[in-house]
Amino acid sequence: MKITNLALCLALGASVISMPAIAQEVTLKASHNANADEPYGVGMREMAEILKEKTGGKAVIEVYDNATLGDEMESIQGTQMGTVDIAVTANSTLANFVPDLAVFSLPFLFENAEQMDRALSNPEVLAEIQAALDEKGFHLLTVFSAGTRHIMTKKPIETIDDMSGLKIRTMQNPAHVDTFAAFGANPTPLAYTELYGALETGVVDGAEAANTNFFSQKFYEVAPDWAVVGWLELVAPVVMGKDAYEALPDDIKAALDEAGLAAGKAERAAYLASDNARFADLEKVGVKMTHPDTAPFREAAVAVQEKYLETDKQKKIFEMLKSVQ
């Protein structure tokens, strides 16, 4: 973060013309790992525009796309060291620093993307999430969406029974592994970069993903069946270091918080629109979609939710998120 008081003096020959001091300026560096035209970029630029407008140009955000300032772990660490002011990060990465946020890894935490948006727009919910971040030295600006997750396979999934024994690639997240075990599958943590080859050679029978990466990575070429179950709404908190936030002038803090709320809604809307648009793209390339009854999946997920709600704060955040309709 750069805070400067600027004065401009012009010297012409022997005379000096003094100009009035320009108002204090704040420049914040924001880091995310996606392309500029993807939802993360859309959200961060919305935040930058609103902040600039609300402060009359006194405060600006410089957005660095494509992990220019480091990957997600490095960006979070940067907010602690002062090399990055604002970081957009996968929740699973931030949960290494704020364990109570592991609640966002739970299956069927939200009813759908629309209910998630309402929950993450609720001031009381955001205050509870902020309380968890306060203890670890972070300030929450908003929560972005990273997509609704479904299931790709090499044969159609019509009911939860069709999951039985299938080797399904998951993220290396214990709650995700246990979720797919609860669905009856054989969860197989595997690096994302290895997934296409693993599907092609039969090392795994399927995987979970969002519409966007299922389409963009062409996984449908080796796993053409797509079960639309929405088992997880993946989120990406947007945070600052608490000390850096508290060092800002009060009017800029207020403007930044307002900009964060608006940017979160804009990003979540952009991601939902992008995700929904991919359904038509997937149909065009011959993907076979099924819509299994999600009730048995939700019932199986309850035991996983109960297992991983370990702290009182996690339980409170979970109940508040679920209660917003």
pTM of the entire predicted model: 0.88
Question: CA 202 to CA 108: how far, in whole Å?
Answer: 28
pLDDT (0 to 100) of residue 4: 53
pLDDT (0 to 100) of residue 265: 97
Nearest to 137 by CA among 182, 87, 174: 87
Task: Report whether 103 contacts 318 (CB < 8 A).
Answer: yes
pLDDT (0 to 100) of residue 15: 33
SS3 string of the chain?
CEEEEECCEEEECCEEEECCCEEEEEEEEEECCCCCCCHHHHHHHHHHHHHHHHCCCCEEEEEECCCCCCCHHHHHHHHHHCCCCEEECCHHHHCCCCHHHHHHHCCCCCCCHHHHHHHCCCHHHHHHHHHHHHCCCEEEEEEEEEEEEEEEECCCCCCHHHHCCCEEEECCCHHHHHHHHHCCCEEEECCHHHHHHHHHHCCCCEEEEEHHHHHHCCHHHCCCEEEEEEEEEEEEEEEEEHHHHHCCCHHHHHHHHHHHHHHHHHHHHHHHHHHHHHHHHHHHCCCEEECCCCHHHHHHHHHHHHHHCCCHHHHHHHHHHHHCC
Nearest to 267 by CA among 106, 76, 49: 49
Q: Which CATH superfamily is domain 2-323 in?
A: Bacterial extracellular solute-binding protein, family 7 (3.40.190.170)
pLDDT (0 to 100) of residue 13: 37
pLDDT (0 to 100) of residue 292: 98
pLDDT (0 to 100) of residue 1: 76
The pLDDT profile of the chain, 325 residues, written as one tens digit per residue, is 765 543 333 333 333 333 333 445 899 999 999 999 999 999 999 999 999 999 999 999 999 999 999 999 999 999 999 999 999 999 999 999 999 999 999 999 999 999 999 999 999 999 999 999 999 999 999 999 999 999 999 999 999 999 999 999 999 899 999 999 999 999 999 999 999 999 999 999 999 999 988 999 999 999 999 999 999 999 999 999 999 999 999 999 999 999 999 999 999 999 999 999 999 999 999 999 999 999 999 999 999 999 999 999 999 999 999 999 9
pLDDT (0 to 100) of residue 2: 66
